[in-house]
Amino acid sequence: MVVKASNPDAVKFGCELAGWIKDKGGEVYIAPGLASRIKPSMALDPEEFAGSIDVMLVLGGDGTMLYAARLVSGTKIPILGVNLGGLGFLTAVTVGEAHRLLERIIKDDYKVEERMMLAVEVERAGKVISAHEVLNDAVIKGTSARLIRVEARINREYVNTYRADGLIVATPTGSTAYSLSAQGPILYPTIHSIIVAPICPFNLTNRPVVIPDWMTVEVTICPDQSGIDLVLDGQVDVKLECGDIIKIKRAKTSIDLIRYEGKSYFDILRERLMWEVKVDRK
């Protein structure tokens, strides 16, 4: 169980679920810092979760889910996200729906949805200095209000030199995150594609593009640039220098999100984005 510790409702619900799971014959593992607040549970370092659990239960918002996804990336351990945060595109299950879905999980009667991830490498002077996997996006952006200048290539073919606040490379899952604010498209989460979206570009004709998942995006930091960061899933920062090459492609690993079959992706979009509700006219 991964719980948003700063959310009292998430901690309270974690205690309720831990007792319920224990009564059903299961064991709950949780990070040492929270094990004393959520009982009954067993303390376990999060880095050891992948080798010890059958299901990852996430109580919080999408940020909590992104952290949890990195813990079990590549293991095929299914993840159930319960929304106790903000918008909750990834943690789409409500508190009221959680028990019913957990009952089905215990009976091994549930379905999962595979979500692709991106492998991100930073190359400096011919050596890889940083490597990560992300579920939502990799964002290259300046730390000040000035525009940055980066050169983008796709499959080694020159695309554009962007002058912008930054550049987002996102998965379909990440299409409803930062990319959406940058006027990027909404992609159905199981589509195998990659979004490349500039943030507030100087040239307004620089629009987001969508490419197939077998292509590789290479972004080079242009000369005389400073104060640029690579931000991974909004949680991990890597300082960049002139000449650094950021290589982004589909990761070999993916994650499996447990689906609540009574709710479609379009139901979630309507709820979260407050789209017009269909009126049944009789």
For 172-217, the pLDDT digits (tens) are 999 999 999 999 999 999 999 999 999 999 999 999 999 999 999 9
Phi, psi (5° rounding) for residue 162?
-85, 130
> Looking at residue 240, what is its pLDDT?
97
Domains in the chain: ranges and CATH? 2-111+259-273 (3.40.50.10330), 117-252 (2.60.200.30)
The CA distances from residue 82 to 43, 97, 211, 241, 255, in Å, are 21, 9, 31, 39, 16
> Looking at residue 142, what is its pLDDT?
93
Per DSSP, the residues of 158-227 read EEEEEEESEEEEE-SGGGGTHHHHTTPPP--TTS-EEEEEEES-SSTT---EEEETT--EEEEEPTT--S
**Band of residue 282 on the pLDDT scale cut at 50, 70, 90:** low
For 131-161, the pLDDT digits (tens) are 999 999 999 999 988 999 999 999 999 999 9
User: At CA 14, angle to CA 78 and CA 83, rounded to 5?
Assistant: 60
For 57-76, the pLDDT digits (tens) are 999 998 999 999 989 988 88
| Dist. CA 82–CA 202, nearest whole Å | 40
- 208-214 own/partner pairs: CB under 8 Å, 24+ apart: 208/179, 208/182, 208/183, 208/184, 209/159, 210/185, 211/154, 213/116, 213/250, 214/250
> Could you say which of 62, 137, 233, 244 is catalytic?
62
Phi, psi (5° rounding) for residue 18?
-60, -45
> What does the block give as tokens for 181?
């604010």
Q: Catalytic: 62?
A: yes
The reply to whether the predicted model has a pTM over 0.75 is yes
Q: Which has the higher per-residue pLDDT, 262 or 56?
A: 56
For 10-41, the pLDDT digits (tens) are 999 999 999 999 999 999 999 998 999 998 99
What torsion, rounded to 10 degrees, do the Cα atoms 208, 184, 142, 154 define?
A: -40
